[in-house]
């Protein structure tokens, strides 16, 4: 299974943009890049995913490197509610894939 | 709007007890998963199921078993609970395609 690497923690000032990096150098051509976040005392929630092109939704943007070996989750204006653990994973279509979430990046937002 | 429901938010069980953690999803998803989450270790996959009556071991299946008799329900069983199984347990479901996982709110299990 392809692995992802993220920093353990990051800090951001409130109302500033946040760029959360993820490395996935062993990604295969059929792997989609997914991001999730986990607020305290809750299960992870889906944020965004993409394959090759950059993606935007109401929660965030996903920038994918041209060689697909890294990606960046962009929160355009961090709020205190964005303080959470963010996970980057890879998954492909099919019923047999085992996906491990790892430790993720703990984002602290400073007022 | 709850889509993945875990039967208990908190559970306290005694060492040696048989423990059942239940998970139900209402999205007709084929895949279901059980993870445990411990400080500093992230989410670790225990078991997953890609169809009714089908199951696959994850990274840490020892001491656990699972049951999937119906598509919407995936049960995690601790045959003889031990203190090192004290943890947060998270259930998730997904389609077979590349779309996202939906997680439940978790069950915090304490084994005393």
Closest by Cβ to B56, choosing from A32, A92, A98? A98
Q: Across the interface, do B43 and A87 touch by the CB < 8 Å criterion?
A: yes
Residue A2 has pLDDT above 90, yes or no: no
- Determine contact, residues B13/B81, Cβ cutoff 8 Å: yes
Pick from B71, B87, B69: which is nearest to B19 by CA? Answer: B87
Of B45, B98, B106, the CB nearest to A91: B98
Helix, strand, or coil (residue B58): coil
Which residue in B5, B38, B43, B93 has the most chain A C-beta atoms within 10 A of its own C-beta, making it the best mutation to test that interface?
B43
Q: Which residue in chain A has the smallest CA separation from B32?
A: A95
Is pLDDT larger for residue A38 or for residue B98?
A: A38
Most distant CA pair in chain B, distance: 40
Residues in chain B with pLDDT < 70?
1-2
Burial of A10 (0-12, 13-18, 19+ CB in 10 A): middle
For residue range A39-49, list pLDDT tens digits in order: 988 999 999 99
pLDDT of residue A83: 97
Ramachandran class of B82: left when φ > 0, alpha when ψ lies in -120 to 50, beta otherwise: beta
Query: What pLDDT band is residue A101 in, cutting at 50, 70 and 90?
Result: confident
Among residues B23, B7, B21, the alpha carbon closest in space to that of B79 is found at B21
- Residues of chain A with a CB closer than 8 angstroms to some CB in chain B: 32, 34, 36, 41-46, 49, 51, 87, 91-96, 98-104
Q: Residue B93: CA atoms inside 13 Å, Cβ hemisphere, count? A: 23
Tell me: the pLDDT tens digits for A58-96? 989 999 999 999 999 999 999 999 999 999 999 886 656
Two structure tokens written together for B28? 């007709």
pLDDT attached to residue A81: 94
Question: A-chain residues within 8 Å CB-CB of B34?
Answer: none
Instruction: List the one residue out of B100, B35, B108 whose CA is nearest residue A41.
Output: B108
> Chain B interface residues facing chain A, Cβ-Cβ under 8 Å?
4, 30-31, 33, 35, 40-45, 48, 50-51, 56, 58-59, 90, 92, 96-106
pLDDT at residue B98, rounded to an integer: 73
pLDDT at A25 exceeding the cut of 70:
yes
Q: What is the pLDDT of residue A63?
A: 98
What's the pLDDT at A62?
A: 98
B-chain residues near A103 (CB < 8 A): 40-42
């Amino acid at each position: 299974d392809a692995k992802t690497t993220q920093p353990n923690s990051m800090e951001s000032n409130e109302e500033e943009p946040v760029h959360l990096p993820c490395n996935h150098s062993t990604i295969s051509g059929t792997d989609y890049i997914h991001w999730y976040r986990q607020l305290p005392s809750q299960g992870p929630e889906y944020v965004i995913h993409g394959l090759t092109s950059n993606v935007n939704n109401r929660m965030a943007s996903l920038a994918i490197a041209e060689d697909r070996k890294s990606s960046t989750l962009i929160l355009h204006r961090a709020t205190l509610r964005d303080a959470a653990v963010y996970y980057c994973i890879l998954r492909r279509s099919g019923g047999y894939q085992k996906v491990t979430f790892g430790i993720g990046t703990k984002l602290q937002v400073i007022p | 709007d709850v889509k993945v429901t875990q039967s208990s938010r908190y559970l306290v069980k005694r060492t040696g007890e048989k423990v059942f953690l239940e998970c139900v999803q209402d999205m007709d998803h084929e895949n279901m998963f059980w993870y445990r989450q411990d400080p500093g270790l992230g989410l670790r996959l225990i078991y997953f199921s890609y169809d009714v009556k089908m199951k696959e071991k994850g990274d840490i299946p020892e001491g656990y078993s699972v049951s999937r008799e119906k598509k919407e329900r995936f049960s995690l069983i601790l045959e003889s609970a031990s203190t090192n199984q004290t943890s947060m347990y998270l259930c998730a479901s997904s389609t077979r395609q590349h779309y996202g996982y939906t997680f439940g709110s978790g069950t915090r299990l304490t084994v005393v």
